[in-house]
Structure 1
Amino acid sequence: MGTKDTITKDYMADNRVFADVFNHMLYKGKNVIDPDTLHPLDTTALAVPYGSGTSEVPVQKFRDEFKSLNVMHDDSRIYLLLGIENQSEAHYAMPVKNMVYDALEYAGQVENSARSHREAKQWPSTSGEYLTGFYKDDQLIPVITTVVYFGSDTWNAPRSLHEMLSVQDPEILSMVPDYRINLFSPAEIKDEELDKLQSNLKEVMLFIKYSKDKRKLQELTSKSPGFRSLELKAARVIDSITGINLRFTETEGSVNMCQAVQEMCDDARAEGRTAGLAEGRTEGLQEQAMLTAQRMLQDPRFSPEDISRFSGLSLEDVLKLQKK
């Protein structure tokens, strides 16, 4: 696992950040999911496809984050299984990756249902129930997976299984079940929608969104109070994803992003001034060498080779001056 993956995974494990993502995706930014109603689950997806006889081979995958949700909404209780996949780069097979995760989870639920019936000695009443152990009145818990894209650009990879297929004939596609990804991408979310986020995910996503626009970053960080004291985990995500090399230590509890951006801009201006001075000095030395060579060419005692060694110009440049 790379540094970016480790840092983003650690950050998204925070229930406040996790709840923010799904309040945006499910409830248009309304604060419906309370972080306290989220409970971590094993991120290992392990399932044995049922009905495969004696040659069963377990399939194992690892999610980034997986939590259960038990919440009241509109006078009804909702129980969901929520997963997040973090991406710092576009993943061109994301629909298949998420489809496998979700399918394994559903297969696991079917297996758990069959196990529960066996343990409770609830015997099947039909051959269909006997075949899978999943009974007529059994129900599955919905699984929702969201891709959180930590890129400043628009997601340019497939967003559905149909986009990945070699055949685009509508008649054929009508028989192929599609699978689309749920995408949380800052470049594709309006600022007013990001402003509804309750955690510091708002600052992280806004910073990433405008990370290539230093003027906008200065304006953003100076106006938003959240940037003046940003939690270290959030600052670490910004630093890792954007590569701006923030100046902070691991002992700090928070980071002043307004100051960090100002320092970054100051450094850029200083580098520009240094480069300009160096360029000016180079041009001045070159001009002086040309004048020296021109004077020496008027004296027959100096050969082109002598002039080149003395002035610092290449022999080719001296010969060009001689022709002029």
Structure 2
Amino acid sequence: MRQNEIFADAFNYFVYNGEPVIAPESLTELDTRAIDVPYGGANGAGQPVQKTRDVIKSVTAMTDKKRAYLVLAIENQSHVHYAMAVRNMVYDALQYAAQVEKAIASHKRAGDYRGADRDEYLSGFMKGDRLMPVVTLVIYFDAKMWDGPLSVHEMFAEQDVKILSLVPDYKINLIAPAAMNDGEFGKFHTTLKEIFSFIKYSEDAEKLTEMVTHDERFLHLGRKEVDVLNACVNANLEMEEEEEECNVCKAIQTIADRAAEKERIDTLQNSIRNLMKTMGMTAGQSMRAIGVSENDRKILEKLL
């Protein structure tokens, strides 16, 4: 995700429906350590709080002949984080706090508080100062549906509607392959298309085979893409050191073989349990009765 082309592609999909509005060359990576310097100085509100984000970049764009700035961040998730809304809220708040502190520090260095009114002087943040918007995008690299809360309000127990209306909400911006339809994958212009579609159908050998058959780009995935798929959905894609591309067809066959093996073991397990229930046999007696092999016996003993 640190590659500007990939990073821009993710945000262009989510914000602009796949239109290439954010240019990769407009992105500049920032330090992922967001530090909130407590107001009141060293003897003020305690120790600084530090959180480390996955990837954070600034964007420079031209809008109505005025230069506009944004801060974009991506959080990569291989598992559902059930407090993600609060986690992201803290990250973004720390980024805003850091911007305020930098503004205050710049005024002190410039000595331009002269002429400022009392409120500006006391707050340190001038009336004309502005913050850069922070947008965080969560990318869920798993074939399962995201079943966690998508906002802070969803994390509350039942509350009085009037009270809840006074509590600011914070929502997650989420990309989850399992929730995407096939037409959406075509809105990506980098290998995110292949990665997300592979993840969505990683447990469906028939659908995966169909996609590979109709899109030859699946036959030429690079090493970075292979690493992502192996780590996130256990794709078992293999590449020799000297190879730069991987043929996904082999992976599909592996997935199909794995599914067939699981189905065979499940069938044996059900047969053994039926014998144990109806005939009063032990697990060992049941396995002997239906002629289970030694290798299968070792697998089934852990399941029964």
TM-score (norm: length of structure 2): 0.81
Compared CA separation, residues 199 and 136, structure 1 to 2 (3 A): same
1:37 has 2:26 as partner: yes
8 Å contact from structure 1 (residues 87, 149) kept in 2? yes
Q: Deviations over 1:99-140 (max 9, x none)?
A: 111000100000000111111110151222122210000000
State whether residues 50 and 132 of structure 1, in contact with CA within 8 Å, keep that contact through their aligned partners in structure 2: no
Note the C-alpha offset of 1:222.
Answer: 1.9
Q: Does 1:21 align with 2:10?
A: yes
| Matched residue count | 266
Amino acid across the alignment from 2:222: E
3-state SS of 1:85 partner: strand
- Give, in angstroms, the shift of residue 244 of structure 1: 2.7
- 1:255-266 pair list within 5 angstroms: 255-265=246-256
Check 1:51–1:150 CA distance in 2 against 1; reply closer, same or farther (3 A cut): same
Counterpart of 1:87 in structure 2 is: 77
Q: Counterpart of 1:58?
A: 48
Q: What is the distance in 2 between the residues matched to 1:104 and 1:274? A: 52
Q: CA deviation at 1:70?
A: 0.8
**Which residue number corresponds to residue 69 of structure 1?**
59
1:112 aligned residue: 102
1:186-205 paired onto structure 2 within 5 Å: 186-205=177-196
Question: 2:230, 2:237 within 8 Å by CA — same for their partners in 1?
Answer: yes
Question: In 2, distance between residues paired with 1:188 and 1:32?
Answer: 24
In the alignment, structure 1 residue 160 sits paired with structure 2 residue 160? no
Long gaps (5+) in structure 2:
269-287, 290-304
1:166-217 per-position Cα deviation (integer Å, ceiling 9, x unaligned): 3422111111111111111112222212211011011000000111111001
Percentage of identical aligned residues: 47
In 2, distance between residues paired with 1:179 and 1:206?
A: 28
Q: 111, 116, 121: which one pairs with 1:121?
A: 111
Instruction: State the secondary structure of the residue aligned to 1:54.
Output: coil
| Unmatched runs of 5 consecutive residues or more in structure 1 | 1-11, 280-311, 314-324
Please list the CA deviations of residues 22-45 of structure 1 after superposition, one character each: whole Å capped at 9, or x if unmatched. Answer: 001211110111111111100001
- Give the direction of change, closer, same or farther, for the CA distance of 1:268–1:212 in structure 2 (3 Å limit): closer
Distance 1:243 1:122 in 2: 58
Residue 185 of structure 1 corresponds to: 176
Is the contact made by 2:236 and 2:254 (CA closer than 8 Å) also made in structure 1? no
Whole-angstrom distance in 1 between the partners of 2:197 and 2:19: 19
Q: Which one-letter code corresponds to 1:58 in the other structure?
A: P
Query: Partners of 1:63 and 1:136 in 2: how far apart?
Result: 30
Structure whose residues are more often helix by fraction? 1
Checking the alignment, whether the CA contact within 8 Å between 2:236 and 2:251 is kept in structure 1 is no
- What amino acid sits opposite 1:54 in the alignment? N
Native 8 Å contact 2:203 2:255 kept in 1: no
Q: Cα offset for 1:156?
A: 0.5
Q: TM-score with structure 1 length normalisation?
A: 0.76
- Range 202-211 or range 128-137, more displaced: 128-137
Aligned Cα RMSD in Å? Answer: 2.3
Question: 2:20, 2:5 → 1: CA distance?
Answer: 11
- Residues 148, 185 of structure 1: 8 Å contact kept: yes
In the alignment, which residue of structure 1 is the partner of 2:279? none
Cα shift at 1:52: 6.8
| 2:235 and 2:251 in contact (8 A); partners too | no
